[in-house]
Amino acid sequence: MEFLGGPLTPSSPRIPCYRTLDGTGKHIPDAVVPHDLQQQDAVALYTAMAKLQVMDTICYDAQRQGRFSFFMTCAGEEATVVGSAAGLDPRDMVFSQYREHGVLLWRGFSFDDFANQLYGNSLEPGQGRQMPIHYGSKELNYQTVSSPLATQLPHAAGAAYAMKLDGADTVAAAYFGEGASSEGDFHAALNFAATLGAPCLFICRNNGYAISTPANEQYAGDGIACRGTAYGMPAIRVDGGDARAVYCATRAAREIALRDGCPVLIEAMSYRSGHHSTSDDSSRYRTREEMVAWRARDPVVRFRHWLVANAWWDEEREKQLRHATRQQVIEALEKASKVAKPPVSALFSDVYADMPWHLQEQLQETLQVARRHPHLCPPDMPVQ
Amino acid sequence: MLARFVCPATTGCLGLAAQAAARQVGQWSRAYAAAATTELTVRDALNSALDEEMARDEKVYILGEEVGEYQGAYKITRGLLQKHGAERVRDTPITEAGFTGIAVGSAFAGTKPVCEFMTFNFAMQAIDQIVNSAAKTLYMSAGQISCPIVFRGPNGAAAGVGAQHSQCFAAWYSHVPGLKVLAPYDSEDARGLLKAAIRDPDPVIFLENELLYGTAFPVSQEVLDKDFTLPIGKAKVMRQGKDVTIVAFSKMVGFSLEAAEQLAKEGIDAEVINLRSIKPLDRATIAASVRKTHRLVSVEEGWPQSGIGAEIAALAMEECFDDLDAPMGRVAGAEVPTPYAANLEAMCFPQVPDIVRQVKATVGRA
């Protein structure tokens, strides 16, 4: 009779962590790299990560200046998000949590697109319905962000099942943090995806914190990766700060999902360098020393060192990229701030596929009141 | 979830309502389209609707607990697994939040799921997926992502199943913009409304009644046609009358019709409206009826506060206040969690004498 696990076997081996670059960005000899990056792809990956970093910094500051109500950065997780995005097919449907806008950037969402969403103006496809950072794009196969945590996980399993019924060669990819994996929906989604044989990738950003809750208070087991095998799916733990490793793992996971008709779990280990959001001050629950130590292992810097070592990147190009991106982001925010807000009719449309009579009545009533009393309507809102 | 009550063939517990319904068929035949020719149970009405819609559109599939191998906890999906295969009739593990989320996600991706809850009481475990995901996503995505899903299952009280299996959720779901909420009464309703719901691009809550599953109603050839649908948002006048308007849905329609027969013997001619659709609510039909009768009584099984009757009272104020000769009367369930003991349970839900008594009070003949 043998009990395994928990406090009875404290030194049982952890699931190993796959990586190809060390903490300073040097290639690890003998590292397994099934899909190595050539210059063009490596530079594309790097520029996306750097642009993401610049955009995050400026938008965070813009929120602090009161230009819009809310923002979240992905500081410290650029490699996890962009590396995995590059490993997916653009037709794969993405169900994100809220920190994966790097996937959108990789797929072609422009700075204007981001800015329009943040300002909730009439140019954004979401028509000002959602709070900032709740992006979505049907065109880029990126589901609109849903605030309640982990609800996107069963959605992804269901979408993957639909793809399977269709005989499609695409997968669904769900992103979530290690905190969200405590939700009931996580359990249901993984169990289901496995029993249904749905080609779904579950990509966990284990970034050490769920707002102020550190990972060692979030779970007692061997992180999130160990749960994959428990549900009957292949799982891997990867160094989330190593863009090349994340890229390789995602590509491989995708191949497994389609070839073997099963879900795959990826746990990317990284660190949330920024605050949880603009509503958080993380200095209240972690030390400066800890943050500085992780900053020294910044994934963008690590990857840049590898590019420089290959003579694919240099100081000059770095300066130019940072400078140009800064200008573009600031310009985009400026432009977006001047665009009119969605009109009054945007309040009542899209509740149903066709506007029912009672909403038509309410819309007409609202327009009448707005025209009779213009001072009741915000000045930048077209009364139509 | 632990206890699952699978109610066997329910003729035993149907009691008065179904027997009365069968007896009264002849007198109500004018309320049915064309000449009534076939008897069809609500169960078979739902089953045939599902079968036909699945044959018509390969995107339609069914999921839920026990819907496949077990033929359905209440046998509504009997035979469908054998006919359409395991990919389209899926038995799920036990997690309402899970399979509802899966269904919603697959609807986002282009399928048309029919998601069965063993009872809407258990759907509370999935209500976030229903409200925050299914109902709101079309709006939040500004029309880019739709959710053509039907959530169906028994709602409200059964018989002797206690507090956690007896709640009516019509009021809760009717509150939410983005959802359509239907409540069939008879077999014509069951077929027409379920087919309409499956074909509708918006998420639909389809509230059935367990005790009516075994009741047979006469249906015309038109109702049996594979393209028979009923419009969503239209109520049906089951019985014309001139003295008072009784508005009800689901099982209470049957009780109201029975009450109307009793009231007729005392010279009170009641008009009975079967809502069929809780959201959108057919305000126009209710108001037109009140303009004719000048008196209004609502009947529901659910609790009174913030219930469907409360909404009908508000619309009466807004649409036909000047036509009312008396304040509206409301018949609703007792404001307690449902007790199990048969005698206590019978006192919890409106019975025919309760409806008769309220109507008499509203028409001033108490």
Q: What's the pLDDT tens digit per position in A292-319? A: 999 999 999 999 999 999 999 999 999 9
pLDDT band of residue B20 (cuts 50, 70, 90) is: very low
pTM of the model: 0.83
Provide CB contacts within 8 A for A372, sequence distance 6+.
none
Q: Which residue of A has its CA nearest to B109?
A: A159
Nearest-CA distance A209 → chain B (Å)? 25
SS3 B34: coil
Contact indicator for A76, A272 with CB cutoff of 8 Å:
yes
pLDDT band of residue A33 (cuts 50, 70, 90) is: very high
Question: B38-224: which CATH architecture?
Answer: 3-Layer(aba) Sandwich (3.40)
Which of left, alpha, beta for A126 (phi over 0: left; psi -120 to 50: alpha)? alpha
- Please tell me the predicted confidence (pLDDT) of residue A242: 98
pLDDT of residue B10 exceeding 50: no
- Please tell me the predicted confidence (pLDDT) of residue A190: 97
Give dist(CA A195, CA B290) in Å, integer.
Answer: 54
Lowest mean pLDDT of A11-20, A371-380, B209-218, name the range. A371-380
pLDDT band of residue B246 (cuts 50, 70, 90) is: very high
pLDDT band of residue B344 (cuts 50, 70, 90) is: confident
Task: Read off the pLDDT of residues B320-337 as tens digits, 9 standing for 90 and up.
Answer: 999 999 999 999 999 999
pLDDT band of residue B36 (cuts 50, 70, 90) is: low
- Please tell me the predicted confidence (pLDDT) of residue B28: 40
Q: Return the percentage of chain B with pLDDT > 70, whole number.
A: 90
Which residues of chain B have a CB within 8 Å of the CB of A130? 140
β-strand B112-116 against B60-64: which pairing, if any? parallel
Tokens of A378: 């915000």
Which residues of chain A have a CB within 8 Å of the CB of B105? 95, 152, 154-159, 162, 172
Cβ of B95 within 8 Å of Cβ of A157? The answer is: no
Task: Read off the pLDDT of residues B94-152 as tens digits, 9 standing for 90 and up.
Answer: 889 999 999 999 999 999 999 999 999 999 999 999 999 999 999 999 999 999 999 99
ipTM of the prediction: 0.77
Mean pLDDT for all residues in chain A: 95
Could you give the dihedral angle defined by the CA atoms of residues B260, B190, B230 and B26, in that order, rounded to the nearest 10 degrees? -40
pLDDT of residue B256 exceeding 50: yes
Give dist(CA B58, CA B47) in Å, integer.
Answer: 17
Contact indicator for B232, B150 with CB cutoff of 8 Å:
no
Mean pLDDT for all residues in chain B: 90
Cβ of B99 within 8 Å of Cβ of A188? The answer is: yes
The third-level CATH classification (topology) of the domain covering B236-363 is Rossmann fold (3.40.50)
Give dist(CA A163, CA B269) in Å, integer.
Answer: 57
- Residue A109 in contact with partner chain B when CB distance is under 8 A: no
Could you give the dihedral angle defined by the CA atoms of residues A202, A207, A213 and A218, in that order, rounded to the nearest 10 degrees? 40
- Please tell me the predicted confidence (pLDDT) of residue A145: 93
Cβ of A143 within 8 Å of Cβ of B90? The answer is: no
| Nearest Cβ partner for A155 among B108, B113, B202 | B108
Closest CA to A275 of A109, A70, A130: A70
Q: How far is CA A348 from CA A375, B139, B143, B148, B325, in A?
A: 21, 9, 12, 19, 36
Catalytic choice (B52, B65, B66, B165): B165
Q: Among A117, A165, A360, which would you mutate to test the B interface (most chain B Cβ atoms within 10 Å of its Cβ)? A: A165
pLDDT band of residue B340 (cuts 50, 70, 90) is: confident
Provide CB contacts within 8 A for B203, sequence distance 6+.
B107, B130, B134, B135, B147, B148, B149, B150, B151, B178, B179, B180
Contact indicator for A266, A250 with CB cutoff of 8 Å:
yes
Contact indicator for B299, B350 with CB cutoff of 8 Å:
yes
- Residue A341 in contact with partner chain B when CB distance is under 8 A: no
Q: Is B96 known to be catalytic?
A: yes
Chain B residues in contact with chain A using a Cβ-Cβ cutoff of 8 Å = 61, 87, 90, 92-93, 95, 97-111, 113, 128-129, 132-133, 137-146, 177-178, 180, 200-202, 233, 280, 283
- Please tell me the predicted confidence (pLDDT) of residue B35: 58
SS3 B290: helix
Q: Return the percentage of chain A with pLDDT > 70, whole number.
A: 100
Residue type, A225: A
pLDDT band of residue B21 (cuts 50, 70, 90) is: very low
Q: Is B165 known to be catalytic?
A: yes
Domain residue ranges of chain B, discontinuous segments joined by +: 38-224, 236-363
CA A49 to chain centre: 13
Domain B38-224 shares a fold with domain B236-363: yes
Contact indicator for B147, B133 with CB cutoff of 8 Å:
yes
Task: Read off the pLDDT of residues A176-229 as tens digits, 9 standing for 90 and up.
Answer: 999 999 999 999 999 999 999 999 999 999 999 999 999 999 999 999 999 999
Catalytic choice (B96, B210, B258, B300): B96
Contact indicator for A362, A347 with CB cutoff of 8 Å:
no
| Nearest Cβ partner for B178 among A196, A346, A352 | A352
- Residue A7 in contact with partner chain B when CB distance is under 8 A: no
**How much of chain A is helix, strand and coil, in % rounded to 5?**
50, 10, 45
Give dist(CA A10, CA B173) in Å, integer.
Answer: 49
- Please tell me the predicted confidence (pLDDT) of residue B166: 93
Alpha helices in chain B (DSSP H): 11-14, 16-23, 25-28, 42-56, 80-84, 96-108, 127-128, 137-140, 170-174, 187-199, 221-224, 251-265, 283-293, 308-320, 342-348, 352-362
